[in-house]
Amino acid sequence: MDACSLAEVAVLLWLRRRRRKKRKRIWMHELNTKRPNFRSFCHLFPDLVNCPEKFYNFFRMTHEKSKKLEELTESSIKKISTYYRRAAGVEERMAIFLKETSLA
């Protein structure tokens, strides 16, 4: 090998290593970024609030009682959203809790 080909190989290796370092890993999968738009809470909860009978059948509690319970427990179940993901709100966390406990 002559000097030019060695230099070319060295430059190509350097470019290849540099390209590998620049690749960023995906921290969050694409499905998880779309999650807020496709959760059952976003679609189902507003419909349940508008229909008191369905709300009671789903959560085993009236909407007024669930709001009161939410007010009482808000300080202990509230989470902070970060740059990487949005935390579930108090109303959503309460809805999940009530649904899971109604199944038991």
Mean pLDDT value across the chain: 78
Residue 5: inside a domain: no
Q: CA 1, CA 22: separation in Å to the nearest integer?
A: 30
Residue 18: inside a domain: no
Range of the domain at 39: 26-103
Determine if the pTM surpasses 0.85.
Answer: no
Domain count, the chain: 1
Residue 2: inside a domain: no
Scanning the structure block, which residue is given the tokens 């199944």?
103
pLDDT, tens digit, for every residue of 6-46? 778 888 888 777 766 555 666 666 656 666 666 777 777 88
**pLDDT of 98 strictly over 80:** yes
Alpha helices per DSSP H over 1-104: 3-22, 30-33, 35-38, 40-50, 52-59, 63-77, 90-103
